[in-house]
Structure 1
């Protein structure tokens, strides 16, 4: 099963992806985790990505697409995967569609976690990850970038009939239950 877990920063994608991974025994691929590891290890990609993220911007499409395609070519993803943080732009979505087609594969579900903006800001500022862009001003910039550049990805997949919108308010288990129902 190939799943895209989608939503704005703070919607709970990482938390829900880990639960889905355990439930369906398929790997979770988070571009954010890959980038954070690169930043922590001060790789050339990590240094580049850190400066981009510190300014509240998104990593260039081609960098992200190449990273994800390379990762998904590994054997552990043959039975499916959960994508979290990808695709973030329509260009990335189109490149991912081409990747799937070239590999005779398809997207099974596009799960959109819907959470009001006030709640997103509260969650991000209280989660304490210590990210350099976790200030109220930077969070608002990230949400603006999401609205302008990332939300159109949902429309791309809506045209394909893949989008299932899930209420992202409630306990972790309540939200997970809604996702499982949508996938069954």
Structure 2
């Protein structure tokens, strides 16, 4: 299955993607991870992207598109992929359609995970990330359970940035829902519940 996960920050896209990848072996293409890796490596793209990420703003289309294009060309995406964090607007969606068509592929579904603002704020303010491997955990994780690395709170998970991220999402990303609705690809799941419950419902909705 070739799937796009939609939803605001903290809706649970990454969590659901990891669960589905573990169960079905899909390639997980998380633009946030791709961008953070570029920032850490201090590539030209990473340096440009860091300015936007630190301010809680969306990284410009062309920077993200170049990263995603390279990732989609890798062999492991041929048996199915989950796009997490891309596309974020109609321009990116149209470009994605073109890139997939050039590869002889197409999307099967765009799954929207809806989560209430109060749930999002609680989740993000508690979230911690490993400096070494990028593992995402919670404030209870004093060290990374995967590699033993240091856990920290990303700048864009701090309270003063969360509100801006939600505002940016509503203004720039929400119209994307209508784009996929018009293509007949949109399906929706409530993301307020426990991750395992959301997983069960999502698989029912997706028919997998």
1:171 corresponds to? 194
1:141 corresponds to? 164
Normalized per residue, the structure richer in helix is: 1
Structure 1 position 164, deviation (Å):
0.7
1:78 corresponds to? 78
Return the TM-score normalized by structure 2. 0.85
- Corresponding residue SS for 1:83: strand
Superposed, which structure 2 residues align to 1:58-97 within 5 Å? 58-97=58-97
The one of the two structures with greater contact order (alpha-carbon pairs below 8 A, sep at least 6) is 1
Structure 1 position 175, deviation (Å):
0.3
Distance, in Å, in 1 between the alignment partners of 2:193 and 2:96 is 31
Distance, in Å, in 2 between the alignment partners of 1:80 and 1:8 is 23
Per-residue CA deviation, residues 59-107 of structure 1 (Å, 9 max, x unaligned), is: 1111111211111011111111000000011110010111122222111
Distance, in Å, in 2 between the alignment partners of 1:170 and 1:53 is 28
- Corresponding residue SS for 1:128: strand
Superposed, which structure 2 residues align to 1:108-127 within 5 Å? 108-127=108-127
1:42 corresponds to? 42
Question: What value does the CA root-mean-square deviation take over the aligned residues?
Answer: 1.1
Superposed, which structure 2 residues align to 1:50-61 within 5 Å? 50-61=50-61
Structure 1: state its 5+ residue gaps.
Answer: none
2:177 corresponds to? 154
Cα contact 2:49–2:63 (8 A) shared by 1: no
Return the TM-score normalized by structure 1. 0.95
